[in-house]
Amino acid sequence: MLKKSLNSFGYALRGIKTTWQEENNFQIMSVITVAVLFIVFYFDFTLLESALVVISITVVLSFEMMNTAIEDLCNKIEPNQDPVIGKIKDISSGFVLLSSIGALIVGIIVFYSHFSYLFN
């Protein structure tokens, strides 16, 4: 049982590595993640604020990976232009966009409380 769990963990890490190697958007988001997390921990955000930021980042990165998997699967199933495949890809991209907008809103709310003095 433990071996099966470890294998599953290894497959998951391989998926993250593959996404990192093949997807520029994932790389950009990951670099931004490191910068944001540095700010969150350096400026001593509350536990709740930190959790909201981490959850938001995790959702965005997860949806980016899901979008990549769906697009790759669609391209494998139908390499030519197809309206249904296009619709599926558009909806999948919408996951990323909506989660990114949500993360941005969370970021604005959380960061504003720490850096509002810069705007006065």
- Nearest alpha carbon to residue 66 among 90, 104, 86, 93: 93
Cβ atoms of 71 and 63 within 8 Å: the answer is no
- pLDDT (mean) for 102-120: 91
**pLDDT, tens digit, 9 for 90 and up, residues 33-66:** 999 999 999 998 999 999 999 999 999 999 999 9
Say which range, 17-21, 26-30, 37-41, 116-120, has the weakest mean pLDDT.
Answer: 116-120
| CA pair distance 21, 45, nearest whole angstrom | 32
Report pLDDT for 110.
96
Going from the N-terminus, what domains does the chain have, and what CATH number goes with each? 24-119 (1.10.287.3610)
